[in-house]
Amino acid sequence: MEDILFSPQQLGAYRLPHRIIMAPLTRSRSKQPGNIPWEMNVEYYRQRSSAALIITEATNISPQGMGYALTPGIYSPDQINGWKGITRGIHKKGSKVFMQLWHVGRISHSSLQPNGVLPVAPSAIRAEGKVFTNEGLQLFETPRALEIEEMTDIVDQYRQAAVNAKEAGFDGVEIHAANGYLLEQFLKDGTNKRTDNYGGSVENRCRLPLEVVAAVTEVWGSDKVGTRISPSGTFNSMSDSNIEETFTFFVEQLNPFNLAYLHVVESFRGSHTNVALNLKLRKIFNGAYMANGGYNAQTAAKSITNGYSDFVSFGIPFIANPDLPERIKAGAPLSEADPSTYYGGNEKGYIDYPFMSTKE
Ligand code: PHB
């Protein structure tokens, strides 16, 4: 029944051996100081390299782009070096890995920003709730609205991160335009109240994300770049008055880039999804469609069989099941992940989840 998950499929430049992708997962375990990937992270990714493709945890493209303590970056030489160990480990196992490029925008705090300045966003609108800082949970602050002159700097941050990811040995990159971070803050009109060329109409709200796609595909070639979106998502206090118009337009504008894939967060932490819109976007988009959010082996196989998706990415199931594809293939039971060790900490709940057999 789940055989279709084990059929090969093209994803941009790569022919993947099966359809089970490891979704980006923030685990907040980089080495300090400097937010550097290190041996423990190498082992974590190495253990999970039976995924057809690993998409890394969201990775800060610049000090300004950081919003969560202990998350790794791709802007310093030490970070690039650290990631080299990770890509080497995954490649040794014959798998592929894309880096997820992340700028959090307003989902940050001045205590995490260089020189303690306010985080930046399209508009000076505060997110509800609290942010995880080095001093514990603190309320979000009202961000500073970016000046129009700063847009080229934001695009340059993505371009440089894309160059750095290449140096670190990745097979491609994913542009994170989902889940309430900077690029989605531009796309959705609840957070973008700008009156210049970067806000207002849907064309204007899509401008910065599309400039980023142009810069990153210039570095990588379009067939090694994917984009992640979350049309139905409300995480991080997000809203949009017309998600169908916004995302139909955005995906239409992505088509000329011939991206490898569109990664759609259909549901996040149990949120509602707009199935009709997901299907519409799948039909409009000219590359592979990667579904994400709350899938199990049965629903993933059904989605692919019905032509709703080409790939399905699994997040939480990969935390406690490093050999998830083998387990699905064998029909073996899955282990439950412990939410108390999702973020931060040490090896516990990170690299100590057992494999199905003792072959490791
Ligand atoms: C998180 O750390 O909670 C997080 C990070 C990136 C996402 C979503 C959630 O896209």
Q: What is the pLDDT of residues 198-207, one digit of tens each?
A: 999 999 999 9
Integer Cα distance of 191 and 236 in angstroms: 10
Integer Cα distance of 295 and 306 in angstroms: 15
Contact 248, 284 (CB under 8 A): yes
Residue 348 lies in a domain: no
Residue 69 lies in a domain: yes
Q: Which residues line ligand 1 (CB under 6 A)?
A: 26, 58, 68, 178-179
Residue 250 lies in a domain: yes
Residue 126 lies in a domain: yes
Q: What is the pLDDT of residue 106?
A: 98
Q: Which atom of ligand 1 is nearest to the CA of 102?
A: 6
Integer Cα distance of 97 and 100 in angstroms: 10
pLDDT at 360 over 60: no
For range 194-199, the mean pLDDT: 98
Specify the CATH number for the domain of residue 221: 3.20.20.70
pTM reported for the whole predicted model: 0.98
Q: Which atom of ligand 1 is nearest to the CA of 26?
A: 2
Residue 354 lies in a domain: no
pLDDT at 174 over 60: yes
Give me the count of residues in the chain: 360
Q: Which of 104, 235, 269, 342 to mutate to test the pocket of ligand 1 (most atoms within 8 A of CB)?
A: 235
Cα(182) to centroid of ligand 1, in Å?
A: 12
Integer Cα distance of 112 and 41 in angstroms: 22
pLDDT at 1 over 70: no
Indicate the number of domains in the chain.
1
Parent domain of 27: 2-341
Residue 328 lies in a domain: yes
63 Cβ neighbours under 8 A, 6+ residues apart: 73, 75, 113, 114
Among residues 181, 261, 289, 353, the one annotated as catalytic is 181
E strand or H helix that includes residue 320 = helix 316-320
pLDDT at 219 over 90: yes
Place of tokens 């210049």: 196
Contact 159, 219 (CB under 8 A): yes
Residue 132 lies in a domain: yes
HSE of 236 in the Cβ direction (CA atoms, 13 Å)? Answer: 24
For range 305-319, the mean pLDDT: 98
Q: What is the pLDDT of residues 321-354, one digit of tens each?
A: 999 999 999 999 999 999 999 999 999 999 999 9
129 Cβ neighbours under 8 A, 6+ residues apart: 139, 140, 237
For range 190-196, the mean pLDDT: 99
Instruction: Provide the residue type at 320 as one letter.
Output: A
E strand or H helix that includes residue 166 = helix 151-167
Contact 271, 305 (CB under 8 A): no
The percent of the chain in helix, strand and coil, each rounded to the nearest 5, is 40, 20, 45
pLDDT at 358 over 80: no
Contact 53, 95 (CB under 8 A): yes
Is 181 catalytic? The answer is: yes
Q: What is the pLDDT of residues 140-166, one digit of tens each?
A: 999 999 999 999 999 999 999 999 999
Q: Which two tokens stand for residue 218?
A: 């210039």
Q: What is the pLDDT of residues 104-118, one digit of tens each?
A: 999 999 999 999 999
Cα(311) to centroid of ligand 1, in Å?
A: 21
Using omega within 30 degrees of 0 as the cis cutoff, is the peptide bond preceding 33 cis? yes
Q: What is the pLDDT of residue 286?
A: 98
Q: Which atom of ligand 1 is nearest to the CA of 176?
A: 10
Cα(179) to centroid of ligand 1, in Å?
A: 7
Look at ligand 1, atom 5, and give the residue with the nearest C-alpha.
26
Q: What percent of the chain has pLDDT over 90?
A: 96
Q: What is the pLDDT of residue 135?
A: 87
Residue 355 lies in a domain: no
**For the chain, what is the mean pLDDT?**
97
Q: What is the pLDDT of residues 41-70, one digit of tens each?
A: 999 999 999 999 999 999 999 999 999 999
